[in-house]
Every structure is written in C-alpha cells, then in structure tokens.
Structure 1
Amino acid sequence: MRLVAAGAAVLTVGAGLGLRAVAAGSVAKYGGDALYTVLLLTLVVLIAPRWTPLRAAGTALAASWAVELFQLSSVPADLSRDSVAARLVLGSTFNAPDLLWYAAGAAGGWLLHTAMSRRRRVAAGALPAGETPHT
C-alpha cells in the first residue's frame, strides 16, 4: 500500500503542475486546492497505510483546514516572503472558499481510496461476511 501511496503522491504533484501549466484563474487555484488535500491524503496513507479511507481523508482535510486557518495569522505570509517551500506548503492569505475546495479534494480522495481498498480486499479474497464482489 505504501508503494501505491507514494506513486499517487507523485501523480498528484504532476497533476497539480500540469493543471497550473494548462489552466489559469479559478480553475488552477481551486483545482490546486483540491489536489493539495489529495496530496496530503496520499501522505497520510504513506505514513499510516492501515487507516480507513475515511480516517485518512478526514485527517488530510483537517490538516488542510488547519493550514488555511493558520493563514489568518501573519506567520505564513511572513514565511512565504522568504521561502518558496513555505509558500507552497503554507500559502500566505486566508481565502474562505479554499475550505470548500479542500473538502472536495478530501471527498474525491476518499472515494478513490475506498474503491482501491475494496479492490485490494476483493483481490485478496478478504471481503466482509455477506459482501460479494459485485455489490
């Protein structure tokens, strides 16, 4: 699972860079917000591969929201002026709509993680009692 999570993290970064290359404005901004949370979800799975998809997505969403709310202070803006890494990780300015797009990223990541977890259980023959591969 960790190898899949690492690959998903690389793909997510690539998707974010690709989005920035082909889109601008709100599409790039809010798509990037959603992908930020997806990236955090992949990192959570990398660190805690046995967590349920809901717990991993919830943790990624909570972290995304915490970073956004941290922007209400001047600290991220101050750090972002001097560091590209800080700007990428912490941002600089609070924007309330970002909270919604983080939730969208968490929901999308949760759906994908749930589907992949179920697929892995089916392949391993470890479905819960009474559940068939076609339900």
Structure 2
Amino acid sequence: MTALGAAVGCVVLAFGIRRFTGSPLLSNGLVEQASGTALYAAAVFAGVVALWPRLASGWVALIAAGYCWAVEFLQLSPIPAWLSARSVAARLILGVSFDPADLFWYLAGIVPPALLLTWLHRRAR
C-alpha cells in the first residue's frame, strides 16, 4: 500500500509543479517537462513495487525503465498522438511525441527510488 501511495504522491507532485511553475514568468517549460517525466517514471517504479512487492529493486528498476522507454519509443508512431487528441488519460499515460531527453529523465526518476528501496531492503535484514 505504501508503494501505491508513493505513486499517487508522484502524480500529485507533478501536477503541483505544473500548476505553480506553469507561468512563463517562472519557467521556460523545462522544469515542468523534466520534473514531470522523472516523476512519471518514479510513479511507474512505485507501481511495479505495488504489483510485485518482493521483487529485487534492480528488477523493479529494469521493468520500470523498460516500460517508460517502450512508451517513449511508441511515440515515434502516430498512435499516441492520435489517442492523446481524443483522451486526456491517453495524453498523460502515452504522451504525444518522442523526445530523446526523456530517456535520461526516466532514469533520473527511477534511480533514486531504486537506491532507496535497495537501502531499505538491506536495512530490514
């Protein structure tokens, strides 16, 4: 249940950042884009932990990164843009267009919780 709460927290935090830095006076869009991408990946990581709580953190990180990268590379096709034009949920989950920088930001969102989970597992022993 904690992992599910973490996933929800990541989504809420991403929307909060978007809300408070969405002004052109406060940001050029990079803050929202990078933080949103990293928090999306952290939410995916937490979702994998919620589904498989006993899975080693390295495997969780690989599954989360693989999923995020698969979604990003899917954006090279017209499918996500077509679906996103018809559904806000599809836009939030699949995105619209490929951005190679997102591949880095996904890892930036996955590595910290993976290290934390590894530390927590070792501490629990």
TM-score by length of 2: 0.90
SS in 1 for 2:85: helix
Taking the aligned partners of 1:42 and 1:108, their CA distance within structure 2 comes to 12
Taking the aligned partners of 1:30 and 1:54, their CA distance within structure 2 comes to 23
SS in 2 for 1:82: coil
How far off is 1:4 after superposition?
A: 1.1
Taking the aligned partners of 2:122 and 2:30, their CA distance within structure 1 comes to 34
Per-residue CA deviation, residues 80-125 of structure 1 (Å, 9 max, x unaligned), is 0000010000001001101010011111121222233233x1xxxx
2:67 aligned to which of 59, 63, 66: 63
Does residue 106 of structure 1 match 2:120?
no
Q: 1:20 is matched by which residue type in structure 2?
A: R
Task: Report what 1:74 is aligned to.
Answer: 78
Q: Stretches of 4+ moved more than 3 A in 1?
A: none
Bigger Rg, structure 1 or 2: 1
Q: Could you list the runs of 5+ residues in structure 1 that have no partner in the other structure?
A: 122-126, 128-135
1:28 aligned to which of 25, 32, 35: 32
Taking the aligned partners of 1:33 and 1:46, their CA distance within structure 2 comes to 20
Q: 1:53 is matched by which residue type in structure 2?
A: S
Would you say the 8 A contact 1:58–1:106 is kept in 2? no
Q: 1:65 is matched by which residue type in structure 2?
A: W
Q: Percent identity?
A: 43
Taking the aligned partners of 1:48 and 1:36, their CA distance within structure 2 comes to 18
TM-score by length of 1: 0.83
How far off is 1:15 after superposition?
A: 1.2
> What is the number of equivalent residue pairs in this alignment?
119
TM-align CA RMSD: 1.1
Taking the aligned partners of 1:50 and 1:117, their CA distance within structure 2 comes to 10
Task: Report what 2:17 is aligned to.
Answer: 19
Taking the aligned partners of 1:89 and 1:27, their CA distance within structure 2 comes to 19
